[in-house]
Structure 1
């Protein structure tokens, strides 16, 4: 199944708790539930941090309240805080000394607020968190320049959520200080260009760019990535930089785009899951035989928008450009325009276990000549144009589950 969105730091939907906590002599009404060293003060009609909580509180949840400003003295009484969540408030800014006594804070959730208003002062506050590892700034109406300022000098960040903002274009300055970044969620923005945005993040392993406006991904050279989700964009071309290094990529989700052809994958990779459903994917070599003329081109050039540097040229009609698919276990090609499998294409995937080909344009399928792997247990070829399927006795008696459905 396709790659889903990255897991948020904390959920906003939490129950309302009103309990009695012991005071010096008599019980007092508290808006918080205390569980060990956690104080859950969600949906409690608060506009300031409650006083009187245990001094050694390590987790403080203040989601669904009415905060507008987190003031300099708000957290002075809780020096042991490791996790703070203020999601789903009306928070406009954090005063510059908010975290003067919060040196242990590792996880900060500020999702679904209005930080676009006071992002400059908030940036000063964030700089005073030397051990911050997880930061959620999703749904704060943040523009490109706001994010660049907010993230300055946050060198310890490992997880960052910027989903649901107003980012349009990222460049080499956007995340230049985030050298420890491992997981980045940028889904549901309005991005149309990436220009060296991740060159300063050598440890980045999981990147979510789903639901944006990217037109193509060329010169892909992020060898350290393990999971890349660029589904639901407008991508017509995916072209990897032909490096000698082995790409660590295991899952690539390009579903729900406008891909014209099978992606140009790395020459050396560990790719296991490739999701290409709901595109316009076709293969190349029959186009070369039937569609090219003496005057037609066999190459296409892609230009970087910045000074036309690092031009990428791809040779069309070369089925060798499929790249390394020897580790593929799942290939999802549902809802494309595939008419045939190139010679030897199936044989390049000896570990393939699931091949989903429903709603394509296949007319014939020869299971014998294609030499499907013995590990293949699911083949969905429903809703194609099949008029002939050839299989030997061994294949007909195998454990392969074949879905044919309706064919014309």
Structure 2
């Protein structure tokens, strides 16, 4: 017992020393915590807060952003509900900083230098609903390991771009029972722990975009029964193997390093409406819940090589609600028709920028509701649409496939088609004349009752026969970049009352045989980068509003033609033409004095015989040409006068030389 007592006596001094050390540590921690407050008080006394006149007051809302303030004005109105102190120089957030007001409903403090928050500051703010602390230095405050709560009534909290890393968000979320909307975007969080959101069970929306998240612990979101929107984009997540958030409606996992996405094997009904898995490294199509109501699925910019159509019906997911599917920028080589069997509501299908060589829809029951199909930039060699298929299709994008042959009437089978993008292929156009010998594999564009937009640029089209668009109400026709295009004089016949936009740029056209004056609805025409030496003929009934004549060989413009356009023309492009200054005075006067806008007028020049360099058309005056004319007239008169004098002298000499000489005699 004695030894025990001696031991106790001997340990007492050590205990006292430890207690003293702990007391010193606590004192030091308290001093470190209170030091910023002391500094803020000194700074406040040295820099008294600005008064209210610098701020804007709207009823009970005060806006003081961008005023270099260190604290709120001292004369805030009693009962102020909104205070905006964003983009100022607030460093320490204290009661004094907020002028001792506690009745705020909306407090905006983003883009300051806040690195200290007074403990318990928000305890009495029982009406505070929205708190924005984004773009500050709250990582410094988090080092003190002190909770800022309670945030009794706060429903929206923005902590984005604060340099927070793993575990630091806990000090802001530990006691926020009403929090629904949370932003932690743009921080340095690497891990979502199981208890990260344990103090915020009412969360509905969480933003974790642009962090460095590598790991999500099991059950991290399980307690959030109300969570409907989760943004985990731009992180470092590699796989999701057991997705089980049944109540979630929107999930964004784009821009990660995802290689696999699998849902938990369950008969539960999932409420997920939108899933974004774009810009990842997935090799396989995601395995989604069998019972789902997914409407929007984006798996673009991955490494998909095939779509998964195997498996028993009991395990396969049904996509009966899916409306939007994006699989662009992958490595798909084919898409079997059976892949679409369970997509009864699909409206938009994007499979552009893959390696697909063949695409067909032959079953009447498939893709009945699809409105847009994008197959651009693939390796298509075969395209097949069966009778009575794709009855709702309105837009078909096929550009960049180098298609050379298609079924003659493939587009006539699409009764709702409005937009056809066929640029960058190698298609030839069939004639509407049955007696005409058409090239093999040509495509017909006649009698497509709803087609309004047709792009045939860069197709190496050589000839455009007559009436090729008859009974097709096109409003836009692009035939650009078909060098050597030969247009029949009636090739646009049938478009007189529908065509509004006509593009014929870069076709090496030297003259237009086609009568454009008959196109009464034509408003915009692009004839740039050709070899035109004369304008097409138009009359006073023309509706042309925009005309592009850049990069042609125009020297003289028919004034009567330009006069016919003047009443409707609004925009004219004329640059890079060898115009003559003095042969186009009427046209230049019209441009200088009418309401016609010439956007490239600074580059529009003309040639004047007295100037070595081209002259900008804005600087051309009638005097420049009249002076030149008078000088030429004077010179001509002088020359004629001189010639007349010379001729007169010569005539006089000639007459004298021919006058008879009389003999004179003298008698002695």
Query: Is the 2:263–2:287 contact (alpha carbons within 8 Å) kept by the matching residues of 1?
Result: yes
Match of 2:273 in 1: 250
2:185 to 158, 163, 166: 163
What are the Cα deviations for residues 311-358 of structure 1, in whole angstroms up to 9, with x where unaligned? xxxxxx638565221110000011011222245221210110000010
Tell me: CA distance 1:39–1:130, structure 2 relative to 1, closer, same or farther (3 Å): same
Tell me what 1:35 maps to: 58
The superposition leaves residues 12-70 of structure 1 with CA deviations (integer Å, 9 ceiling, x where unpaired) of xxxxxxxxxxxxxxxx7622100111100001111012111111110000001101101
Contact 1:210 1:230 in 2 (8 A): yes
Q: Does 1:54 align with 2:77?
A: yes
Structure with larger Rg? 2
Cα pair distance change 1:319/1:157, threshold 3 Å: same
SS of 2:388's equivalent in the other structure is helix
The runs of 5 or more residues in structure 1 that have no matched partner are: 1-27, 287-316
Q: Secondary structure at the match of 1:201?
A: coil
Q: How many residues align?
A: 350
**Richer in helix (by share):** 2
Counterparts of 2:65 and 2:308 in 1: how far apart (Å)? 60
- Give the gaps of 5 or more residues in structure 2: 1-50, 403-668
Aligned to 1:143, which of 152, 156, 165? 165
Q: Residues 148 and 391 from structure 1, CA distance in 2 versus in 1: closer, same or farther, beyond 3 angstroms?
A: same
Look up the SS of the partner of 2:241 in the other structure. Answer: strand
Q: Which residue of 1 aligns with 2:362?
A: 368
Separation in 1, partners of 2:363, 2:391? 17
Alignment-derived partner of residue 311 in structure 2: 318
The whole-number CA distance in structure 2 between the counterparts of 1:180 and 1:396 is 45
RCO (CA 8 Å, sep 6+): is it higher in 1 or 2? 1
Residue 291 of structure 2 is matched in structure 1 by 268
- Flag the 1:398–1:265 CA change in 2: closer, same or farther, 3 A: closer
**Mean CA deviation greater in 83-92 or 387-396:** 387-396
Question: Shift of residue 388 of structure 1?
Answer: 1.0
Between 92-101 and 209-218, the greater mean CA deviation after superposition: 92-101
Helix, strand or coil at the partner of 1:30 = helix
Name the CA shift for 1:29/1:224 in 2 (closer, same or farther; >3 Å): closer
CA offset digits 1:72-105 (Å, max 9, x no partner): 3434642321010110000002101322432111
Match of 1:71 in 2: 94
Q: 1:375 & 1:105 partners in 2: Cα distance?
A: 47
Residues 125 and 399 of structure 1: CA distance in aligned 2, closer, same or farther (over 3 Å) = closer
Pick closer, same or farther for the CA change 1:67–1:322 going to 2, 3 Å: farther
Structure (1 or 2) with the greater strand fraction? 1
Counterpart in the other structure of 1:192: 214
CA distance in 2, matches of 1:353, 1:100: 51
CA RMSD of aligned residues (A): 2.0
CA distance 1:48–1:403, shift in 2 (3 Å): same
Q: 1:182 touches 1:203 (CA, 8 Å); kept in 2?
A: yes
Q: Could you tell me which residue of structure 1 aligns to residue 572 of structure 2?
A: none
Query: CA shift at 1:168, angstroms?
Result: 0.2
Aligned equivalents of 1:29, 1:177: Cα separation in 2: 37
> Could you tell me how far 1:385 is from its partner in structure 2?
1.7
Give runs of aligned pairs for residues 6-17 of structure 1, distance below 5 A: none
